[in-house]
């Protein structure tokens, strides 16, 4: 195997492993192509640690005398330490971890090798497809159609082969509209609000450029969206100034003169590098051991993470207000339409639509809005908060989404069918996984690499009965109402379950939740017998 050349020392005896919340243990360390395996020699209460190398964000090595210490900082924010006897062995291990943890080749990644005995490769990958989704939404038939204009990914490489568009717009018009939008991401339907027939559309920015080009087809397409209504809203996730500057690089925004029935709001949302830096600062603050309250609170403030959470939730709130309260359709976009647009359209759907709040509903929503609509997971999640590597495309947009969902869950503990444990699992899987769900940057790439044929799907695995029990919310009671989150700064909290997961006190809370969960399971068993 090609991995072998990176592994000079596969086994080391007498290694001491230190990990949070547990006493240090001594045992054997093995390195394989994808894993770091540690097992201690205790006869009775034997412990094993199996860590995906992909989960390791950064390592530090320190030599003292003839032994060495490797500190591994993981993408799930855990910090592990290995004390390894023998300098050469230690260097070899460190080198293997460094190389194997950031292999670039997708097809060499673990999901392609993961073959659990109790699971055969799926007939159907994923929970649904645009076709199935459309066929289940009878309300759409009258005014909307499923277009396969992108069946070979030529119109928009980042869209799935089938998308939902207004019935009156033919594929030629779509092709022309696509040329007018960055990356070909022409406006498509992402949510239909059954209560009033209004919709959420998303796209990328229009390519006006400095000389204010226009595109009749794009205007027609948007016109068709609000047919029969007096107006629509556009939520641009950039500030007015940023949107204007985008014209210099060929982008822009929908001007009033050509889109006169659309009212535009600008809401600046942080993205890209700024978000990644915010995460790095937050994690650094959480790991601060100075035991000083002022320092902690100013570092927390300084990281701006909670401001980003607040901003995302309030922009989603604006979107919901337009659709649910004001009764108008909305188009959402920023620049590329693959980050903030997805974030707020997902949150808005959770707030409005009770179907998205069950476990299947939520995973289905993630599949539609993030996997099919293409969030570039591989680029965004290549590194997490500890990496020293120069930032490229990394950005914790998906993590920010999970944090916002957690805030919703905290404010409405009965309304969501899943628990915090699911959010934590997703936050871990998105950075390093046995499953193929978060591999690649788009549907097209996934097809090229046969991800759907050769890997397991996380969402399907999570819906198996045992897993489902574990991740469901015992307190869940469906409500048809919109769940309007409070976005007052005082109402938002740090997501301790994730950011302080490896500290003692969070553990006690987990135990309490575990207790309730066990009771419910017990209850279910008793009720059946």
Name the helix (H) or strand (E) containing 87.
Answer: helix 87-101
C-alpha span between 395 and 446 (Å, rounded) = 21
- Kindly report the three-state secondary structure assignment for every residue of 406-426: HHHHHHCCCCCCECHHHHHHH
Short-list 228, 208, 235, CA closest to 219: 208
C-alpha span between 270 and 255 (Å, rounded) = 23
Query: Is 301 near another protein (CB under 8 A)?
Result: yes
Among 306, 323, 400, 449, binds another protein (CB under 8 A): 306
Footprint (CB under 8 A) of another protein, residues 404-463: 411-415
Which CB sits closer to another protein, 143 or 496? 496
CB of 397 to another protein, least distance (A): 18
Which of the stretches 32-40, 51-59, 125-133, 511-519 binds another protein when contact is defined by CB under 8 A? 511-519
Short-list 435, 395, 412, CA closest to 484: 412
Short-list 460, 470, 283, CA closest to 387: 283
| Number of Cβ within a 10 Å radius of residue 519 | 11
CB of 71 to another protein, least distance (A): 20
Which CB sits closer to another protein, 390 or 488? 488
Which of the stretches 73-81, 181-189, 233-241, 490-498 binds another protein when contact is defined by CB under 8 A? 490-498
Among 107, 124, 239, 493, binds another protein (CB under 8 A): 493
| Number of Cβ within a 10 Å radius of residue 525 | 9
Size of site (CB under 8 A) for another protein: 50
CB of 311 to another protein, least distance (A): 8
Query: Is 275 near another protein (CB under 8 A)?
Result: no
Which CB sits closer to another protein, 48 or 504? 504
Using alpha carbons, list the distances in angstroms from residue 155 to 149, 184, 186, 250. 7, 6, 9, 19
Query: Is 286 near another protein (CB under 8 A)?
Result: yes
CA 465 distance to own-chain centroid:
23
Among 64, 120, 527, 528, binds another protein (CB under 8 A): 527
Among 43, 142, 477, 480, binds another protein (CB under 8 A): 477
C-alpha span between 111 and 358 (Å, rounded) = 27
Q: By CB under 8 A, name the binding residues for another protein.
A: 286, 288-289, 291-298, 300-301, 304, 306-307, 310, 411-415, 474-475, 477, 486-493, 496, 500, 503-505, 508-509, 511-512, 515-516, 519-520, 522-523, 526-527
């Amino acid at each position: 195997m090609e991995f072998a050349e990176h592994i000079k020392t596969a086994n080391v005896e007498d290694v001491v492993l230190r990990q949070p919340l547990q006493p240090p243990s001594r045992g054997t360390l093995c390195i394989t192509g994808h894993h770091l395996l540690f097992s201690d020699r205790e006869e009775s209460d034997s412990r094993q640690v199996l860590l995906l190398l992909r989960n390791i964000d950064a390592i530090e090595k320190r030599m003292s005398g003839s032994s060495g210490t490797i500190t591994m900082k993981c993408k799930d924010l855990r910090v592990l330490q290995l004390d390894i006897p023998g300098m050469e062995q230690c260097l070899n291990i460190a080198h293997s971890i460094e190389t194997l943890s950031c292999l670039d080749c997708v097809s060499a990644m673990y999901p392609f090798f993961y073959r659990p005995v109790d699971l055969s490769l799926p007939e159907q990958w994923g929970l649904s497809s645009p076709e199935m989704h459309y066929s289940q939404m009878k309300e759409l038939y009258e005014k909307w159609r499923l277009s396969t204009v992108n069946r070979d990914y030529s119109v928009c490489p980042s869209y799935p082969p089938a998308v939902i568009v207004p019935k009156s717009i033919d594929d030629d018009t779509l092709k022309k509209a696509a040329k007018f939008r960055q990356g070909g991401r022409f406006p498509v339907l992402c949510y239909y609000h059954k209560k009033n027939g209004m919709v959420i559309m998303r796209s990328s920015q229009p390519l006006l450029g400095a000389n204010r080009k226009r595109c009749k087809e794009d205007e027609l397409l948007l016109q068709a969206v609000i047919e029969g209504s007096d107006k629509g809203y556009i939520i641009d996730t950039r500030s007015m100034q940023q949107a204007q500057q985008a014209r210099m690089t060929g982008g822009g925004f929908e001007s009033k003169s050509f889109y006169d029935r659309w009212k535009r709001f600008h809401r600046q949302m942080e993205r890209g590098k700024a978000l990644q830096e915010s995460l790095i600062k937050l994690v650094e603050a959480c790991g601060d051991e100075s035991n000083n309250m002022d320092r902690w609170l100013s570092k927390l403030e300084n990281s701006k993470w909670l401001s980003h959470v607040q901003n995302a939730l309030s922009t989603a709130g604006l979107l919901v207000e337009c659709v649910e309260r004001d009764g108008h359709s909305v188009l959402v976009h920023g620049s590329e339409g693959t980050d903030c647009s997805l974030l707020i359209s997902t949150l808005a759907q959770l707030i409005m639509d009770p179907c998205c709040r069950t476990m299947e509903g939520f995973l289905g929503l993630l599949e539609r809005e993030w996997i099919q609509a293409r969030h570039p997971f591989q680029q965004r999640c290549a590194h997490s908060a500890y990496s020293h590597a120069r930032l490229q495309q990394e950005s914790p947009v998906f993590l920010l989404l999970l944090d916002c969902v957690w805030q919703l869950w905290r404010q409405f503990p009965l309304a969501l069918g899943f628990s915090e444990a699911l959010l934590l699992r997703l936050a871990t899987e998105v950075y390093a996984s046995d499953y193929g769900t978060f591999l690649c940057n788009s549907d097209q790439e996934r097809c090229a690499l046969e991800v759907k044929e050769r890997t397991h799907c996380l969402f399907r695995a999570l819906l198996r009965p045992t897993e489902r029990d574990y991740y469901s919310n015992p307190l869940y009671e469906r409500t048809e109402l919109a769940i309007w989150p409070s976005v007052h700064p005082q109402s938002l909290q740090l997501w301790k379950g994730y950011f302080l997961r490896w500290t003692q006190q969070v553990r006690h809370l987990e135990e309490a939740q575990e207790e309730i969960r066990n009771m419910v399971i017990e209850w279910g068993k008793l009720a059946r017998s």
